[in-house]
Every structure is written in C-alpha cells, then in structure tokens.
Structure 1
Amino acid sequence: MTVSRSGGFAGGAETIAVRADGSWTRKGSGSPRSGSLTAEQRNRLWSLLGDPRLAGEAGTHQRQGCADTYEWTVAAGSTKVDYTECLAPANRPPVAAAVAELVDTATR
C-alpha cells in the first residue's frame, strides 16, 4: 500500500510504501528512508485497510484548489482515495485520512 503527499508551501512530494510485513520506504523530500512499523502500528494499519468504508471513499471526495495545502492519495490494492487537506475534517474521507495520518506519523 502507498500513501502519497504533494503540494504544500514548498510544493514537494513524498511517497511512502508499506509492505505486508510492516517494512516501509519513504521517498521524496530529502534522502530516502526506510524502517518498520511497530506491531501495534501494523495491526492498526491493516485494521483500517480492512475497513469496508475505505472502498466506499474511493472517488467520492473531490480535490479542492487551496493554496499551500497538501493533497493526499491513499492506495491499497485496487482502492485509491484522493483528498485535499484543506477540506474541513468532517469532509475528509475518515478511513483514508486515518491511514494517511498513521503512515505519515509512523514513518517520520
């Protein structure tokens, strides 16, 4: 599965790939980094990815043109969810946003 982030003030882009064993690689801004999720992080991620609401979020959230904000893509299998961070939290796809936050935070 992957989480991608682009935009922001500097206009950078990053992609984080997480494999089934929890190992990850983060590429984009700066040097590539890699590591492994903890067992708790890995279990939470797989639980979120197994949530049936995730598939329903694909294609339902429009990107909004906001200056200096991030655009996120969460891709897992055939499911791909795009959203703009400038959306009010209540308007973001909840499962995809939780996946993006978990993966982004765990791989910093």
Structure 2
Amino acid sequence: MIRRRLAVALVAATSTTLALVTPVQAQEPSSLSSTTEAPENGNDLEGLPDMLMSAVVDGETALVLEVIRAIMALGLAVTQGATIILPLIPGGTDQLRNFFGQFGIQV
C-alpha cells in the first residue's frame, strides 16, 4: 500500500514540476484573434494581447528552464538505470531501502 502511494506521489510531483517548468508555446497573435494585428517583426511584443505577455520567456528565464529540464532528465536517466541494474545486484533492493531509510523515507 505504501509503495502505491509513493508511486502516485512521485508521478504527481513529477508531472506538476514538468508542467511548471515547461515554457508555454504561444501561437501567432493573428491566429488567436482576428482583431489583433500581428507584429511586423518577430521581436515586436506590442501586438500581443495582455494575457499572452506572461508567456513571453526572456533569455535568462529560458536558461533557467533548460537547466531545470536537464537536471530532471538526468534524474530520470539515473532512475531508469537503477531500475535496470538494481535487480542484478545481490541485495540491491535492501541497500536501496537502507539508503532511503537514512533520510526517513520508507520504501
């Protein structure tokens, strides 16, 4: 029962985190509303509706989002690698339980 709750909690936390750090892909302003004129060049943000101004990601924010995405991808790779290798190590599951037990996580 505890394993199921832990799995559900991990999936919920991962999906929520991914939803928060994934940048919003805005559509062309002309396709969103027929009354809004599209900007002449791609750098002009005056033509965007007010609700889309929060979706604009500058260079520094994009860098932070990419770093977070890379860290999460690394964590995913380590988790998948451990899933494959752990059954091959004698006593591997017990070692993992003891490791998590040091941090107060019961698996």
- What's the TM-score bracket when you normalise by the shorter of the two chains? under 0.3
What is the TM-score with the length of structure 2 in the denominator?
Answer: 0.22
What is the TM-score with the length of structure 1 in the denominator?
Answer: 0.22
Greater strand percent: which structure? Answer: 1
Of structures 1 and 2, the one scoring higher in RCO (CA 8 A, sep 6+) is: 1
**CA radius of gyration, larger in:** 2
